[in-house]
Amino acid sequence: MHLLKFAYDGSLFQGYSRQEGKITVEGEIINTMERFGLKAVLKSSSRTDRSVSALGNVIGIKSERNLKDIIGILKNARNLYFYAYAEVDDSFNPRHANERWYRYMTPYEVSGNRKNKRKGEYFHR
């Protein structure tokens, strides 16, 4: 199994889990895989609510395709940024992590009396 680490700006999604008629993180991954003919089994590590961003979410992908092909395909996913990978045993389940780390932030960074850029504006493609 290929384990991929990725980030996303949650303000661009209506949550993580795929939902009919909504733009979600999982939906974007699945739609991208389908557009490029990638057949795979997905195992997600965690799910986020609407407008919640992630800097280190992890997804396991089991496929006959090689890692280079998978990464090349997922680079086409809109507003998702894949940046690390590992090979793990097929029995590995990312949902059973030994540790999770969260940081909660307000939508705006406050400096003095003025509001700076929205946090999502720091994500660049």
72 dihedral zone (left: phi>0; alpha: psi -120 to 50; beta): alpha
pLDDT at 61 over 90: yes
**Which residue range forms the structural domain that includes residue 14?**
2-89+101-122
| The pLDDT of residue 76 is above 90 | yes
Q: Tell me the three state secondary structure of residue 110.
A: strand
Q: Is 96 inside a domain boundary?
A: no
Mean pLDDT is highest, among 52-56, 78-82, 97-101, for 78-82
Is the pTM for the entire model greater than 0.75? Answer: yes
Confidence band for 38, pLDDT divided at 50, 70 and 90? very high
Does a structural domain hold residue 94? no
On the question of pLDDT at 119 being above 50, the answer is: no
SS3 95: helix
Is there a contact between 82 and 3 (Cβ–Cβ < 8 Å)? no
State yes or no: is 89 an active-site residue: no
- Choose the catalytic residue: 49, 69, 89, 90: 49
**CA dihedral for 81, 85, 90, 92, sign (positive or negative):** negative
Whole-number pLDDT of residue 111: 55
Distance CA 15, CA 1 (A): 25
Q: What is the pairing mode between strands 80-87 and 41-44? A: unpaired
Q: What is the mean pLDDT of the chain?
A: 84
β-sheet bridge partners, residue 58 = 5
As a whole-number percent, the residues of the chain with pLDDT over 70 amount to 82
Is position 52 within any domain? Answer: yes
pLDDT-based confidence at residue 63 (cuts at 50, 70, 90): very high
**Domains contained in the chain, number:** 1
| DSSP tally for the chain: helices H, then strands E | 2, 6
4 bridge partner residues: 59, 85
Does residue 9 fall inside a structural domain? yes
Instruction: Tell me the CATH number at 48.
Output: 3.30.70.580
- Give a yes or no: residue 95 inside a domain: no
How confident is the model at residue 95, as a pLDDT?
A: 82
